[in-house]
Amino acid sequence: MTVETRTTIQLGDITEVEIECTKCHARIIWNPRDADHFIPLLCKKCDTPFFIRNSQEHRDLLQLLSLINTYSHTGNYHLRFSLGNPEATRSCPILTKE
Ligand SMILES: [Zn+2]
């Protein structure tokens, strides 16, 4: 007999969404349940540009945060995502919103 273990999450399981600077590895974390999200255009620690103001990518990230919240509360179905390697973790400094 073969046993396969699958790890899935629902959008309601997501408590934080983070962005990590590829240069200094600082992170910014958002709670998708918050009403408004401020997404900076630059890294607050090293000023590496993240987004172009009003770009599609910047707007899409704002929408993604909103959609996570919207689809966390589904009615007659469960929307699930499988994780490839849930044991993978990262350790990085965290920048908080100001
Ligand atoms: Zn940075």
Q: Which amino acid makes up residue 41?
A: L
**pLDDT tens track, the chain, 98 positions:** 898 888 999 999 999 999 999 999 999 999 999 888 899 999 999 999 999 998 999 999 999 999 998 888 878 888 888 988 766 655 556 665 54
Single pTM value for the model = 0.73
What residues have a C-beta under 5 A from ligand 1, the ion? Answer: 21, 23-24, 26, 43, 45-46, 48
Task: Quick: pLDDT tens for 75-89.
Answer: 888 888 898 876 665
Q: How far is the CA of 42 from the centre of ligand 1 (A)?
A: 8
Q: How far is the CA of 69 from the centre of ligand 1 (A)?
A: 27
| Per-residue pLDDT at 78 | 85
Q: Which residues contact 8 (CB under 8 A, 6 or more apart)?
A: 80, 81, 82, 83
| Per-residue pLDDT at 57 | 96
Helices (H), the chain: 56-70
